[in-house]
Structure 1
Amino acid sequence: MPLPLSLPAPSTARWLAWLRRRTRSSELWLIAVAVLIGVAAGALAVLQAKLAHGLQGLLFGINLGERLSAQSAIAPWRVLSIPLGGLLLGLLTWAWMTYRPRPAVDPVEANALHGGRLSLKDSAFICVQTLISNGFGASVGLEAAYAQAGAAVASFAGQKLNLRRADMRTLVGAGAGAAIAAAFGAPLTGAFYAFEIVIGAYTVANLAPVAAAALAAALVASRMGAIPYLLKTTTPAVQSWLDYGLYALLGLVCAAAGIGLMRLVALAERGVVRIGLPRGWRPAAGGLALAGLAMITPQILSSGHGALHLDLISDLGLKTLLMLVALKALASVLSLSFGFRGGLFFASLFLGALIGQTVSALSVAAPWLPGLDPTVAALVGMAALAVAVVGGPFTMSFLVLEATGDFTVTAAALVASLIASTIVRETFGYSFSTWRLHLRGETIRSAHDVSWLRPLTAGRMMRKDVQTTASTTTLAEFRRRFPLGSTRRVVMIDEAEHYAGVIVTALAYADPGGDERPVSVLAVNPDAALTPDQSIKEVMRAFDSTEADELAVVDAERRVIGLVSEAHATRRYAEELEKVRRDLTGEA
């Protein structure tokens, strides 16, 4: 029988299966997939930026290449676009929440709690919300949409390829970091954004895929016409050791400002809820307030790229700087609390630059202090406040390095960033994204993968074949029912069948008292019991405090439903830790 001239084209399912096998078995193939994700993330970031800027040009009458926040003034009738955009956003959000009532997952939450799994539909709608918010002038940045789009593409690819959990988390971090790299033309910044903020760890296994994705995204963005984020300074950052002390003080000020800003957003959100305004109308109401602020200065609009560049080359007085800090912070708080979508990434950079210039002005006014250069102080403050709000001291330090090319400025920024990061972690404990998750009831403080701990609950680890006995049982009856060697422990219950303690079988046989004594005299830990939903950490803490080898698990009515041993809980915890260790070291 003659052979066919050509083989039939494999089906999509067979092709995906082939690619899945290659990706799961070879790190080189995983890097190749990460590069493709970086290309897609970079293209999506540039596309979203062009859409938002095009919308701003249409609504506010600014020329191509100009920035909304850099305008000297905006016609009053044009600022009415902000509440109109808020109305559009509110109606769309109301309709979407009716269709999909559960909250959307962002990249940090996805990697910490869901193994890198993101919904493509939810992510697309988040991007639409952010584009409307930023395009109509609300004081929010696009970086959240960039990262969401990049992470969603990565998650979609990882799910199609059925990748391992660790590889999924790496790709989601690579996608989000690649988008940031494209937005700023800064691959190191994007890579460390992935490591510090989205993945939560820098390991041998995730280094190459993340770096490759960030480089690919930056190159694609450059070919698509994106302009790298460049800030030039000609003044040495450090002229004496005392300068480091002033930069450390600036880091302290930025830490306090970052904590205050995050708490203000939470307080304002609660205040808006108490007002009782329907959710769909909140962005429009917030837009009216923002329109009033825009009449004072357009610098509060959008994320603030243009205003940041404008203020760095302007000789602003102390009163003007303080006014801009207050107005921009107020605009960001109003935007987020009234329902506009976006993040504080660039707003924190802009506010940090203003705070740095303010500290510089104060240092110049004090004759006993060496005056800080306002541009250098702005760059250092920019990094420090962004670290306080967003997190990632190396991320923001590399942003300064790639924007300026000046290692002395980067060193000063790193000093201030580390101080700001340490103070925020010690006194507040959250970044802006994890703080908002905390307000929703989640307990995560970073993107570290803690979801593996969640299945390790008392209810999942307990044995259900529990031997029980009544508290009125005599020692003679107990010995007859439970011969020595049949069981180590028996759970005691009272007349209402509620948990009343644990009887150690060996002690019942060793007791020198009479056979007619009730076993209740030998019960231990009558008040120490676990509930099914307690985590492994709470279980191990209970074992430490009671010094027991086994603890009963009870329901809401204190009826015994199981028994957990310390040895089993420790073994399960060790097994999961070993899996995490293998993921971190890249072992199969």
Structure 2
Amino acid sequence: MSEALPDSAWSQALQRLRALARADEAWLAVLAAGVGMAAGCGVAAVNAITGLMHIYLFLLPQGGGISEAARLPPLRVLLVPAGGGLVLGVITAVLSRFRPRVPVDPIEANALYGGRMSLTDSIVVTVQTMLSNGVGASVGMEAGYAQFAAGLASKFGQALRLRRNDLRVLVGCGAAAAIGGAFNAPLCGAFYGIELIMGVYTMASLPYVVIAALAGTLTVQALGFGTPPLTVTLPQTIPDSAYVLILVLGVVCGLAGIVIMRGATLIEAGFRASGIPPWARPALAGLVVGALGCITPKAMSSGHSALHAYIDVNYPFFMVLGFFVIKALASAVSIGAGFRGGLFFASLFLGALLGKVFAGLLGVMPFMAHLPPGLFAVVGMSGLAASVVGGPMTMTFLALESTRSFTATMAVLAAAIASTLTTRRLFGYSFATWRFHLRGAPIRSGVDIGWVRALTVGRMMRSAPKIVQSEMSLADFRREVPAGALARVIVVDEQARYAGMIYPPEAAVATGEGRKVADLMHHQGRFLVPGMNVREALDTFEQVAADALAVVDDAEHMKVVGLVTEQHALRRYSEELDRRHREISGA
């Protein structure tokens, strides 16, 4: 009896909290703050573990980063990524036998599943990301941070049985807190949650996301893992003429982002076509990354420490260009071979290098000599990340919070918009949504379209009012279905398979002796199935030019199970669309 009491008390506490959260939005703010603090603790723990892995695996000094090191032990640089890749490959192969499904990403969860995620899958992804980054693969930690925090928020929200929109907001809060804490940039984290995870900006959700991002950032700072601001020389003012070149750099960043994303995809396709077992691919990629790391350690890990250490260092032009090519190749190979992680962190470092390359090309122009290369490094950093990640405001606030410079932020905003427009016009995807596209997931953002998939023909259909045989004579049909009794009747064949549809008014005026129902059938071979969603059903109505269609169990058995009218489908679609709009607006 004593053992049952804690469970009963816990259940009662959950019920009270659930009731409060559903009745008063102030309690949703409390939940957002709690999620933010939990996310901050997760970020600190992940940073501590990966930092220790870097120190002990690569013999770094305490607090040192792989990519900022002048040189690393060559044997370890070669063997650690390859060995770590082998371990990751084997673990992934074993897990795929027991958990074959693909883990749901926070963007995918909010777009298709109403914010529902598996915490177990999220922990698996986080551990895989930590292992990948810890052994030096050229991947970022943002995937692990956001996945864990969003998964934790989703689990908490599901336990409280939050409404669909509230659960989606809480998932956005988790991701926002994780990114805000990782970069010591709460505004960046908040807009990451809004632009990428939720896909829509509303005043109804903004306060909770900002609260979570602030809580996550402050928690990381309190635990001693806050990221310092960038130390970079920036101008006090930027001449108007320079904005033309800043916009050009934004376009260049957009083009470079497309090349990097395409490159990662092509390398992944090459690995699949090579016949190399999936478990061995990360090991081979680890050897490649290790070889590039022997040339320069900047090729390894996320590049976050190198960004902070070298953003204001002026290297020779061809050296910076070499760093950019090597880092881009290492990132594409790491992602393409199956190392877990993202390109957010790596794209920041790559963008800074690209900005310096751009500044080097402009160095011969006298009227640009007074602008420091650091400005172009910051602009390139945010511009390339905006192309890859897909959040121009996220990157603009990251630049503001990292540099504390409003002047540079204006330039960053211009370049980020130019980069984003270039990427959307020529490519159409960010890196995350591009990978969703390759998997066949019909999403380009975290905007909620899951309700469309949930509103199926099976939910909308009604029972068929009347079913007749195709061989029935028209005379018998007229006696059984008088004119005006029904608008339409479904027709089946001798095996009770769907054959078509007949309209009683048309049958009432048809002439000719010995004619059968089959002679007046319409929509043969045109039908709906229960699994179709409402948009697919409406498209079918438009193609067939019908105001109603029969629903059959499947295309093989063709057993009639119901009827759906176009008017009813349109009304249900409009009702659900209006409900989602009211949820978004907070009405």
TM-score (norm 2): 0.93
Deviation at 1:519, TM superposition (A): 4.5
3-state DSSP class of the match of 1:280?
coil
Equivalent-residue separation in structure 2 for 1:383 and 1:341 (angstroms): 23
The residue aligned with 2:112 is 113
User: What's the counterpart of residue 231 of structure 1?
Assistant: 230
1:332 and 1:398 map into 2 onto residues whose CA distance is: 25
- Would you say how many aligned residue pairs link Structure 1 and Structure 2? 580
Matches within 5 A, 1:73-472: 73-79=71-77, 80-236=79-235, 239-365=238-364, 373-465=372-464, 467-472=466-471
CA–CA distance in 2 between the matches of 1:113 and 1:294?
Answer: 40
2:234–2:408 contact (8 Å) kept in structure 1: no
Q: Distance in 2 between matches of 1:412 and 1:352?
A: 14
**Alpha-carbon distance in structure 2 between the residues aligned to 1:251 and 1:528:** 50
- 1:59 partnered with 2:70: no
Query: Which residue identity is paired with 1:476?
Result: A
| Aligned equivalent of 1:3 | none
Separation in structure 2 between the aligned mates of residue 466 and residue 371 of structure 1, nearest angstrom: 81
- TM-aligned CA deviation for residue 253 of structure 1: 1.6
Deviates most, 356-365 or 78-87:
356-365
Partner AA of 1:538 in structure 2: E
Q: Cα offset for 1:437?
A: 2.1
CA contact (8 A) 1:294 1:301 kept: yes
Q: Deviations over 1:330-365 (max 9, x none)?
A: 101111122211111111111111112222222233
SS in 2 for 1:342: coil
In structure 1, the partner of 2:563 is 563
CA deviations 1:48-102 (Å, max 9, x no partner) are 1121111101111111222210111111122121112112222222232233222
CA shift at 1:403, angstroms? 0.8
Structure 1 unaligned segments of length 5 or more: list them.
1-6
Q: Deviations over 1:346-388 (max 9, x none)?
A: 1111111111222222223356878864211111111121111
What's the secondary structure of 2:279's corresponding residue? helix
Taking structure 1 as reference, are residues 418 and 144 closer, same or farther at Cα in structure 2, changes over 3 Å only? same
Structure 2 residue runs of 5 or longer lacking an equivalent are: none
Give the conservation status (yes or no) of the 8 Å contact 2:233–2:312: no
Give 1:558 deviation, angstroms. 7.6
Bigger mean CA offset, 342-351 vs 574-583: 574-583
Q: 1:14 to 1:497 in 2, by over 3 A?
A: closer
- Alpha carbons 2:238, 2:407 under 8 Å: kept: no
Q: 1:8 to 1:222 in 2, by over 3 A?
A: closer
Letter in 1 for 2:274: I
**Structure 1 residue 68 corresponds to structure 2 residue 66:** yes
Aligned-partner Cα distance in 1 for 2:493–2:391: 55
1:585 aligns with 2:567: no
Deviations 1:192-219 (A, max 9, x none): 1111111112222212211111111111
Q: 1:415 to 1:237 in 2, by over 3 A?
A: farther
Change (3 A) 1:73 1:232: closer
- Relative to structure 1, the CA distance from residue 574 to residue 410 in structure 2 (aligned partners, 3 Å threshold; closer, same or farther) is same
Whole-Å separation in 2 of the counterparts to 1:34 and 1:232? 32
Q: Distance in 2 between matches of 1:389 and 1:335?
A: 16
What is the CA–CA distance in structure 2 between the aligned matches of 1:396 and 1:229, rounded to whole Å? Answer: 17
- Shift of residue 322 of structure 1? 2.2
CA distance in 2, matches of 1:384, 1:506: 65
The amino acid that maps onto 2:288 is A
Rounded to whole Å, the distance in 1 between the matches of 2:151 and 2:442 is: 23
CA contact (8 A) 1:82 1:138 kept: yes
- 2:231–2:308: 8 Å Cα contact kept in structure 1? no
Return the offset for 1:32. 0.7
1:216-235 deviations in Å (ceiling 9; x for gaps): 11111111112334124454
SS of 1:65's equivalent?
coil
Deviation of 1:485 after TM superposition, in Å, equals 2.9
CA distance in 1, matches of 2:216, 2:121: 23
Q: Which residue of structure 1 aligns with residue 18 of structure 2? A: 20
- Over 3 Å counting, the alpha-carbon distance change for 1:458 and 1:424 in structure 2 is farther
Q: Shift of the alpha carbon at 1:286?
A: 1.3
Aligned equivalents of 2:514 and 2:521: distance in 1? 16
Q: Deviations over 1:374-416 (max 9, x none)?
A: 2111111111211111111111110011111222211221122
CA contact (8 A) 1:42 1:182 kept: yes
* CA 245–370 in structure 1, closer or farther in 2 if over 3 Å, else same: farther
Query: Deviation at 1:427?
Result: 3.2
C-alpha distance in structure 2 between counterparts of 1:53 and 1:394, whole Å: 29
* Equivalent-residue separation in structure 2 for 1:22 and 1:436 (angstroms): 39
Q: Partner of 2:226: helix, strand, or coil?
A: coil
Cα distance in 2, alignment partners of residues 420 and 220 from structure 1: 33
Instruction: Please give the TM-score of this superposition, normalised by the length of structure 1.
Output: 0.93
**Residue equivalent to 2:46:** 48
Greater Cα shift, 103-112 or 226-235: 226-235
Contact 2:231 2:312 in 1 (8 A): no
Alignment of 1:472-491 (within 5 A): 472-491=471-490
Amino acid corresponding to residue 171 of structure 2 in structure 1: V
> Cα RMSD over matched residues?
2.4
Q: Distance in 2 between matches of 1:100 and 1:120?
A: 13
How has the CA–CA distance of structure 1 residues 90 and 550 changed in structure 2, closer, same or farther, with 3 Å as cutoff? Answer: same
- For residues 518-552 of structure 1, give each alpha carbon's deviation from its aligned partner in whole angstroms, at most 9, with x where no partner exists: 45554444454334433322222232344321123
SS for the counterpart of 2:204 is helix
Q: CA deviation at 1:560?
A: 5.4
Q: Give the 3-state SS of the residue equivalent to 2:143 in structure 1.
A: helix
Deviation at residue 178 of structure 1 after TM alignment: 0.2
Aligned to 1:537: 535
Give 1:434 deviation, angstroms: 2.1
